[in-house]
Amino acid sequence: MTNETGDFSVPFIAPVDGPALALSQVPDPVFSRKMLGDGAAVEARGKTVYAPVDGWLEMIFPTNHAFGITTAAGLTVLVHIGVDTVELAGRGFTRLLEPGIRIKGGTPVIAIEPGVIASYGKSTATCVIITDMAPVAELNMTGQDILRGGRDILFVCTLKQIG
């Protein structure tokens, strides 16, 4: 999508139902300090985690707590479900797709059980991170408080102009 100044922008869809969070609000310094990249998060209230953007589903962690997408614009995206959820060894996570396919934003990828995740004392903050920020000019959250996963826009990424 091109905006009025000719910049190319990519909308990122909320990965799950729930309240939007700035990365600085995620209770893990790896995310809150943007060590892996920039983006935003949603405190999961729903039971389905969706692809936030069109692209190639590159990988899903064996524990199903995270997956990676590469977009046609070359953005590398990590969706990480919860904080320290790798420790759950897959409990509360069910894979709905296998990697190696093209997907559309809004496609269900992982089914989750937020109650199971919370019962282990883990946050359900689900982060959408652009891991390579080199092509990114700016990210803007939409300002919407409560989001519908797979439908509402979480943030818009504007890419740098080339040339």
Active site residues: 80
Q: What angle do CA 113, 50, 17 make, to 5 degrees?
A: 60
Reading the block at residue 114, the tokens are: 């937020």
| C-alpha span between 105 and 48 (Å, rounded) | 13
> Using an 8 Å Cβ cutoff, are 155 and 39 in contact?
yes
Mapping DSSP to helix (H, G, I), strand (E, B) and coil, where does residue 162 land? coil
Q: What angle do CA 67, 56, 141 make, to 5 degrees?
A: 65
Could you list the beta-strand ranges (E) of 28-152. 38-43, 48-50, 55-60, 66-70, 76-81, 93-95, 101-103, 108-112, 125-130, 136-141, 146-147
Mapping DSSP to helix (H, G, I), strand (E, B) and coil, where does residue 75 land? coil
